[in-house]
C-alpha cells in the first residue's frame, strides 16, 4: 500500500523538503522559465511604477518566509541548526540565494545544474547533508 501524500511529506526529512521547495522556485526547465520571467518583468516594472510597487505580488507575500522559518525551527529543534541561529535571517538568506540563482539561470550565466549544486551545498553547510544522499528531481 502506498502512503498518502500527507504521510509521504511527513516522512520526507525537513532538509530535503526545503531543497525540493526552493528548487521549485527556480527556472530550471522550459515549464518553469516563463513564470519566472513574468515575475521578473513585473518586478522590474514595479521598480519604476509606484502604483504597481504598492501592490503585493501575491495574496500572501510572507507565506514562503513564514514556511521557511517554520521548517528551520523544526531543524533547530532536531539539532540540525545551531540554537543561536536567527531563523528569519536564515530564511531571508535562502530566499536571496534562490533569487540570485534564478536570475543567473534566467540570464544564462549559470546553468540549472549549477543552481541545484549551489543550493544543495548551502543546505549541506546549514543543515547537514541530504538524508538519502540523492538530490530531489526538479
Half-sphere exposure of 69 (CA within 13 A, CB side): 10
pLDDT digits (tens, 9 = 90+) for 16-25: 999 999 999 9
pTM over 0.85: no
Contact yes or no for 95/65 (Cβ under 8 A)? yes
Q: Retrieve residue 14's grid coordinates.
A: 525537513
Which pLDDT belongs to residue 127?
Answer: 95
Among all chains, which residue has been given the C-alpha cell 521549485? 24
Which pLDDT belongs to residue 123?
Answer: 97
The 3-class secondary structure across 83-137, one letter per residue, is CCCCHHHHHHHHHHHHHHHHHHHHHCCCCHHHHHHHHHHHHHHHHCCCCCCCCCC
pLDDT digits (tens, 9 = 90+) for 70-128: 999 999 999 999 999 999 999 999 999 999 999 999 999 999 999 999 999 999 999 99
Contact yes or no for 74/90 (Cβ under 8 A)? no
Cα–Cα distance, 85 to 127 (Å, whole number): 11
Which pLDDT belongs to residue 54?
Answer: 80
pLDDT digits (tens, 9 = 90+) for 22-47: 999 999 999 999 999 988 888 888 88
Amino acid at each position: 500500500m502506498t502512503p498518502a501524500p500527507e504521510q509521504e511529506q511527513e516522512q520526507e526529512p525537513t532538509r530535503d523538503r526545503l531543497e525540493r521547495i526552493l528548487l521549485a522556485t527556480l527556472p530550471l526547465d522550459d515549464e518553469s522559465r516563463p513564470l519566472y520571467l513574468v515575475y521578473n518583468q513585473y518586478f522590474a516594472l514595479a521598480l519604476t511604477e509606484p502604483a504597481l510597487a504598492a501592490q503585493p505580488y501575491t495574496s500572501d507575500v510572507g507565506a514562503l518566509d513564514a514556511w521557511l522559518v517554520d521548517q528551520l525551527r523544526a531543524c533547530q529543534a532536531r539539532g540540525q541548526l545551531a540554537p543561536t541561529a536567527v531563523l528569519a535571517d536564515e530564511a531571508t538568506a535562502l530566499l536571496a540565494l534562490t533569487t540570485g540563482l534564478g536570475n543567473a539561470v534566467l540570464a544564462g550565466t549559470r546553468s540549472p545544474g549549477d543552481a541545484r549544486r549551489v543550493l544543495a551545498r548551502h543546505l549541506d553547510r546549514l543543515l547537514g547533508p541530504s538524508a538519502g544522499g540523492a538530490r530531489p528531481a526538479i
